[in-house]
């Protein structure tokens, strides 16, 4: 039987593609075999990021070509900026260092944080197990039950400080939606805010991740002890079907661009990253290994057992797109964003 030349050409192309994939995997396997990979955590020991990193470390080595050992190293400081600066300036660029960083530092230069002296667009983003959606959460006794009520009645909201995430989103929502939330500073952590809500010291929180509510106060929403009035972020939560989504309520084009940039940290979820300059085939191998880890039934079961959220994995390219889009925000919108982050209402 004579095989048509077109089929031979197609077969040759397929073989060439397969050979190319195999060739790119081989150097990665050769490099990682017998190696130890450092997994840097931009947070403190025992925290949520450290817990997630150690869960990932138990499984990802089996999915990396060459099956290297993984060692977790916590590097807290300056709200995650220390780890980001280390990755940008000091960490080895051969593929032997990966990191799990907080979602704020990658956008810190855009937000005008002077201490953030790195270029987030030059990092190699690997993926995240989830994205975050925040809610405006009120205690059940507060006589506010809708967005319209938030616009007409002043509410007191717990925040850790003037430049905290909670205070930032308070200013942002007030400016774009016309609400009357007032940040009350001095609550160091989420648990302190929740206890203050229970005591009636404050009305609620302006920015609490839905995943944090379900993991730390799983009965609050089902038992109507607290109520979600508004949700915002890169995507809506299906379980909050009756709760308005902020982006749907905003019509002004510049306000929409402002929200898109402001929600970029939430879209990054809990991002994993490699330093700039790592060989492309090792970045590709690590991205694939992370995606396989997030889909690994044993990892998913382990994560669920210890209360980790792995509900919306995103690829490294998706994170790169979020970063690139955020840093392409028009300067006039960036000026507004930085004003909100600096504590001004605009």
pLDDT digits (tens, 9 = 90+) for 46-58: 777 888 999 999 9
- Round to whole Å and give the CA distance between 158 and 183: 6
pLDDT tens figures, 330-342 = 999 999 999 888 7
Question: How many Cα atoms are found within 13 Å in the side-chain-facing hemisphere of 130?
Answer: 18
Residues 6+ apart with CB under 8 A from 6: none
Per-residue pLDDT for 216 more than 70?
A: yes
pLDDT of residue 156: 98
Q: How far is CA 280 from CA 109, 122, 287, in A?
A: 25, 13, 11
Residues 6+ apart with CB under 8 A from 7: none
pLDDT of residue 102: 87
Percentage of the chain beyond pLDDT 70 is 91
pLDDT of residue 25: 55
Which range is most confident: 3-17, 28-42, 69-83, 304-318?
28-42
- Round to whole Å and give the CA distance between 215 and 200: 22
What confidence tier does 19 reach under pLDDT thresholds 50, 70, 90? very low
What confidence tier does 21 reach under pLDDT thresholds 50, 70, 90? very low
Average pLDDT over residues 17-39: 74
What confidence tier does 12 reach under pLDDT thresholds 50, 70, 90? very low
Average pLDDT over residues 162-184: 91
Higher-pLDDT residue of 12, 203: 203
Main-chain phi, psi angles of 185, to 5 degrees: -80, 160
Give residue 200's region: left, alpha or beta (phi > 0; psi -120 to 50). left
Tell me the longest C-alpha to C-alpha distance in the chain. 85
Strands (E) across the chain are located at 36-41, 69-74, 97-100, 124-128, 134-139, 155-159, 181-185, 204-209, 226-232, 272-274, 314-315
Q: CA torsion 255→214→48→327, rounded to 10°? A: -10
Q: Is residue 128 classed as helix, strand or coil in its secondary structure? A: strand
The average confidence (pLDDT) of the chain is 89
Provide the 10 A C-beta neighbour count for residue 112: 15
Residues, the chain: 346
pLDDT of residue 54: 94
Average pLDDT over residues 184-193: 87
Average pLDDT over residues 99-105: 92
Are 157 and 204 spatial neighbours (Cβ–Cβ below 8 Å)? yes
State the DSSP code for 245. B
Q: Looking at the whole model, is its pTM more than 0.75?
A: yes
- Round to whole Å and give the CA distance between 68 and 60: 9
Q: Which of 105-119, 124-138, 154-168 has the lowest mean pLDDT?
A: 154-168
pLDDT tens figures, 225-263 = 999 999 999 989 989 999 999 999 999 999 999 999 999
pLDDT of residue 9: 43
Pairing verdict, β 155-159 and 181-185: parallel
Per-residue pLDDT for 158 more than 90?
A: yes
- Round to whole Å and give the CA distance between 317 and 323: 10
pLDDT of residue 346: 59
Domains of the chain plus CATH, in order, are: 24-130+269-337 (3.40.190.150), 134-264 (3.40.190.10)
Q: How far does Cα 243 stand from its chain's mean position?
A: 22
Residues 6+ apart with CB under 8 A from 112: 337, 338, 341, 342
pLDDT of residue 345: 63
What confidence tier does 164 reach under pLDDT thresholds 50, 70, 90? confident
- Round to whole Å and give the CA distance between 59 and 129: 14
């Amino acid at each position: 039987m004579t095989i048509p030349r077109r089929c031979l050409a197609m077969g040759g192309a397929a073989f060439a593609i397969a050979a190319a994939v195999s060739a790119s995997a081989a150097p990665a396997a050769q490099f990682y075999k017998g190696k130890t990979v450092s997994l840097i955590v931009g947070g403190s020991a025992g925290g949520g990021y450290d817990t997630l990193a150690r869960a990932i470390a138990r499984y990802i080595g089996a999915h990396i070509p060459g099956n290297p050992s993984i060692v977790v190293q916590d590097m807290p400081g300056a709200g995650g900026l220390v780890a980001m600066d280390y990755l940008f300036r000091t960490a080895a660029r051969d593929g032997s260092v990966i990191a799990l960083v907080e979602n704020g530092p990658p956008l810190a230069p855009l937000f005008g944080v002077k201490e953030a002296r790195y270029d987030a667009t030059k990092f190699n983003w690997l993926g995240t197990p989830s994205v975050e959606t925040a809610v405006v959460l009120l205690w059940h006794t507060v006589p506010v039950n809708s967005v319209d009520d938030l616009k007409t009645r002043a509410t007191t909201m717990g925040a850790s400080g003037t430049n905290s995430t909670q205070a930032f989103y308070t200013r942002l929502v007030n400016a774009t939606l016309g609400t009357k939330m007032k940040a009350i500073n001095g609550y160091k952590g989420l648990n302190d805010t929740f206890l203050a809500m229970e005591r009636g010291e404050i009305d609620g929180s302006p920015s609490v991740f839905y995943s944090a509510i379900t993991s730390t106060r799983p009965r609050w929403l089902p038992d109507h002890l607290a109520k979600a009035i508004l949700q915002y972020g890169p995507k809506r939560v299906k379980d909050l079907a009756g709760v308005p989504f902020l982006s749907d309520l905003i019509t002004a084009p510049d306000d929409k661009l402002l929200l898109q940039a402001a929600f970029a940290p939430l879209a990054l979820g809990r991002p994993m990253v490699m330093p700039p300059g790592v060989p492309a085939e090792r970045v590709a191998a690590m991205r694939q290994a992370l995606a396989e880890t997030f889909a690994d039934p044993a990892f998913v079961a382990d994560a669920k057992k210890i209360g980790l959220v792995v509900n919306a994995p995103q690829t490294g390219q998706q994170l790169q797109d979020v970063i690139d889009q955020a840093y392409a925000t028009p300067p006039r919108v960036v000026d507004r964003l930085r004003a909100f982050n600096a504590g001004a209402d605009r």
